[in-house]
Structure 1
């Protein structure tokens, strides 16, 4: 029999051992406390299911998104819709598109002008497109090279007739523009190279046609005749063209000399001696001529 009055029994009764159930409850309580702290810090245990989002944050089903994307790509492809979209392009975007051409090389810009002129000819509207052509050349900043392009597109073995037909086109480039006139002469060399058999003997007549049409000035023609260049045709052909042009060059120089001599005589004739009553020495005055060369009105041609 256990003596309940024994000191050891009395101590055990006053201090009983903790049972397994109470230990388990304490651990669960500590675990819940840890989870509560995790929620306060914004973290969720992997074993827990996150709470559902609020109604206003619910994502649409995948098929709804796909349908919306399909609607975005399903643009109206009618001609009217396409024209309307083109009209909606801002002026700024158009300016950027045009400025892109100016960033190209000179050769690329000349090719753009060539395609522009060629298209006008193919469409059958080249005769009335002289203003548009010079405007495009100015936009591309290759106006001086315009005659080089025009000769390639508009001239062939019938060049003498075509000079008269397209005089207005060339005059818009060559009038008071010596650089453009030099490019016209280089273009002529290229045309002769393509139709050498038909044109080589007609060089003096072709130059005379261009000179009479006010497309070339004396100074430019004489300067061109003094130096053959192999930049556009072979050196041999360039020399031959200038040899064939000698009769016209000679006539041009003689006409220029006669014109210079005539101007000096005119100046002498315009000097009048006026006798003054108050002086013993005659007073010399120059009488200005009223005759002036009228500027060429290209639009009136």
Structure 2
């Protein structure tokens, strides 16, 4: 084997194994809180795997709980923190197993295909099998928003090139680009599932059927209406009544009742039914009603619908306002979890860094009273500090 190269499957000892890649290299830069790990040959490694270099870099960040940054123009890929080469090579093996190797024959000659139902498939050119990746992994959200570009080969056919999708093609900035409705996978899934809707019996937490008699339903709805009226903040900048009969009150009550049995598609369809799927206030309402005290672990479940609805900075601010209400008014015991909550939304590319920073440095009485606002922002300081340190580190690199 050529010096500096290893088998893509490092568990294969066969020296005649033809699938090879450069040995992953690392370089530690900076010091203190600004220390970072640069991967100088990530582009070469990714090219051997036929994947965009941002994919394994982002995978490292997901697995290590670290922020990542990329500069494709100069092939610079960074994972914040000090990480030795051995650890990153082990993680690269995991990435290869999950997102490169065929699930059937374990051959690396695969392309990633994004289906209409928002699944990511490994299409194997060796055995012809198509196997799905584990959609529970956080990297899948990044891949769905940054699909590998299709490029023309010499014979005119299309293949997945190891390049990063531009913002106009679902890029990292989270903008709806390209203008092609054919790429709107969530909408397609909603339409395809609309004809297959079935009514499921309500099941209680103890496994027994919930009482669905008219009296019981009326009593539950009344309780929910009271809760909604007390918790939802409905500013007067929309054409709706400020009560449980408004579209926001309706979707809020529905979310509280159904959240254990619904997914992102169900939520978006309900918003469409009420005609509020594009409204920023819908985002605020859903943050307050879809989640429980286990919000940190629940965010990945509903991340796709927030990604779909997050079409402007105003929507992001409404989401942050919903978090203020959720934590500062309804779940004060979660104040210490604010950094984790923000991190989950940030890692899912739902909240952008500049919006979070602006929110964190400006006290507002729009969603909660001034004192509550200060409490929530005070609780968010560890996350805001983490963002600032990452930026300072990037500036140090630019000066070198």
Q: Which has the higher strand share?
A: 2
Select the structure of larger CA radius of gyration.
1
Q: TM-score, normalised by structure 2?
A: 0.36
Q: Which has the higher helix share?
A: 1
